[in-house]
Amino acid sequence: MIGHTDNAIEIDAPIGFVWDQTNDVTVWPDLFSEYAKAEILTESENSVTFRLTMHPDELDRVWSWVSERTWDRDTWTVRARRVETGPFEFMNITWTYEELDPDRTRMRWVQDFHMKPGAPVDTAGMTERINANSKVQMALIKERVELRRRRVVGFHDVPANTKRGGDLRTMVSPATCGSSSGFCGAVRLQPGESVSEHYHPYSEEYLFVATGTLRVDLDGEPVTVGPEQALLIPRNVRHRLTNTADGQALAVFQLSPLAPRPELGHVDTEPYPEKVSA
């Protein structure tokens, strides 16, 4: 007898966000209730080998094993197998993801396995156990992934992008919250500091100056944007931001819609500013 289970759940989040959240093995202890530790052993562009350690069971036993995952994002498919099989003769799992609409994803787990003779649980018993546990873990993953879409993101919660100048942070984005139509963030500029000229071929940019005063050069023509003022930067318009005031400037930006791929979203039209050593 081969054990076989097939379980699925619908998660209210875009498919790319669900994919990223559930395939980052390093955060599985925060996503699943059964795992105490996840340790990456080796990884490549489309695979990872890792050790999972569970919380102690009712007999205070700690179970641990090594697994391997390979994935194909183009087909939204992941195949996993236990390398250290323990009580299993084999354990193979296929994860598939299906976009139901822009903010709803079906995640499905299909597991095929067989228990070794003398294992603590036979194949029929393990089938029943996996079916029950999969439903519990899927419900928990759904809850936690959906909550991550509603997280409050602080300026210092995300890494700084300083390559174009200033201290720029993308805060609400497909990566942080699963946004599907655009992203927003903020940039801090010291007096005289600029963000080098670039343009966005796919997105409009909405700029709001919270504090300070910025000169925004639009296709070479300067526009002054003061505190609590906003400006639309249309697609394909070259723009450079410069802090012309005596104090720090803080501006909030939003871009929409998203480019087909993140690297296509910005086109630089002048060199990045040189870094000044302390």
> Does 63 map to a domain?
yes
User: Is the C-alpha dihedral spanning 171, 177, 178, 180 positive or negative?
Assistant: negative
The reply to whether 7 and 144 lie within a common domain is yes
pLDDT of res. 275: 56
> Does 136 map to a domain?
yes
CATH value at residue 26: 3.30.530.20
Give the domain range for residue 41. Answer: 3-148
The reply to whether 139 and 192 lie within a common domain is no
The reply to whether 64 and 194 lie within a common domain is no
The reply to whether the predicted model has a pTM over 0.75 is yes
The reply to whether 138 and 229 lie within a common domain is no
At residue 262, what is the residue type? P
The reply to whether 193 and 259 lie within a common domain is yes
The reply to whether 101 and 181 lie within a common domain is no
The reply to whether 202 and 137 lie within a common domain is no
> Digits of tens for pLDDT over the chain (278 positions)?
899 999 999 999 999 999 999 999 999 999 999 999 999 999 999 999 999 999 998 888 888 999 999 999 999 999 999 999 999 999 999 999 999 999 999 999 999 999 999 999 999 999 999 999 999 999 999 999 999 999 999 999 999 999 999 999 999 999 999 998 999 999 999 999 999 999 999 999 999 999 999 999 999 999 999 999 999 999 999 999 999 999 999 999 999 999 999 899 999 999 988 754 33
Q: Give the end of a domain, one of 82, 114, 148.
A: 148
The reply to whether 71 and 203 lie within a common domain is no
Q: Give the end of a domain, one of 122, 148, 174.
A: 148
* Of the candidates 106, 89, 88, the residue with the CA atom closest to the CA atom of residue 97: 106
CATH value at residue 193: 2.60.120.10
